[in-house]
Amino acid sequence: MFTQRFRNAALAVCFFAVAALAAENPFIGTWKMNADKSKMSGADALQNVTVQYEMDGESLKASVQGTTTQGQAENFTYEATLDGKPGTATGSSTFDTITLQKVGPNVIKATAKKGDKAIYMDRRVVSKDGKTLTISRTGTDSQGKKYQSTIVFDRQ
């Protein structure tokens, strides 16, 4: 009897701890790009994008899957702390480091670089209801052309 109550209490504590962590970072979870609401530009824009965010200790880790405009699969990961210090990207054809800085409870600023050159800068905002992630991006594509995009994701 005591063992069952202890187990149930432990499970309840674990459940509430996971819920509290998710509430602390509204980015955590799986997001799918909503092409109808997005306004993409730039030669390097990805299509059919899915992003999985998770916390790995103090770092936010992202796994990104998408398709280039030429139909090629593009899959990469990146990881960085939310204090503006550079983190690493693996598998991306466009950037190799990224900085993430939490500027509000639902807002992150991001800068991606290839070497010392900034490729794009984002303002990433999760809606108050937690269902929509909007990325406002300015950048320079691989052909040197400047662009602005709004990329909208729906929580899965």
What digits encode the pLDDT tens for the residues 69-127?
A: 889 999 999 999 999 999 999 999 889 999 999 999 999 999 999 999 999 999 999 99
pLDDT of 1 reads 57
**Which residue segment(s) compose the domain that 113 sits in?**
27-155
Band (3; pLDDT cuts 50, 70, 90): low
Instruction: For residue 37, name the pLDDT band (cuts at 50, 70, 90).
Output: very high
If you average pLDDT over residues 35-48, what whole number do you get?
Answer: 85
* Local structure of 118: helix, strand or coil: strand
- pLDDT higher than 60, residue 10: no
Q: pLDDT grade, residue 4 (50/70/90)?
A: low
What pLDDT is stored for residue 45 in this prediction?
Answer: 79
Answer yes or no: is 151 within a domain.
yes
- Does residue 103 belong to any structural domain of this protein? yes
Residue 12 maps to a domain: no
Q: Which residue has the higher pLDDT, 93 or 8?
A: 93
Asked if the structure places residue 142 within a domain, the reply is yes
User: What is the amino acid identity at position 100?
Assistant: L
Does some domain include residue 16? no
| Overall domain count for the chain | 1
Residue 31 inside a domain? The answer is yes
**Pairing label, strands 47-56, 132-140:** unpaired
Going by pLDDT thresholds of 50, 70 and 90, the confidence category of residue 141 is confident
The string of DSSP letters for 23-40 reads: HH-TT-EEEEE-TTT-B-
On whether residue 146 sits in a domain, the answer given is yes
DSSP letter, residue 10: H
Could you tell me the CATH number of the domain that includes residue 139? 2.40.128.20
108 inside domain: yes
pTM: 0.83
Question: For residue 5, what pLDDT band results from cuts at 50, 70 and 90?
Answer: low
- State the average pLDDT over residues 38-66: 91
Which residue in this structure is represented by tokens 């999985």? Answer: 52
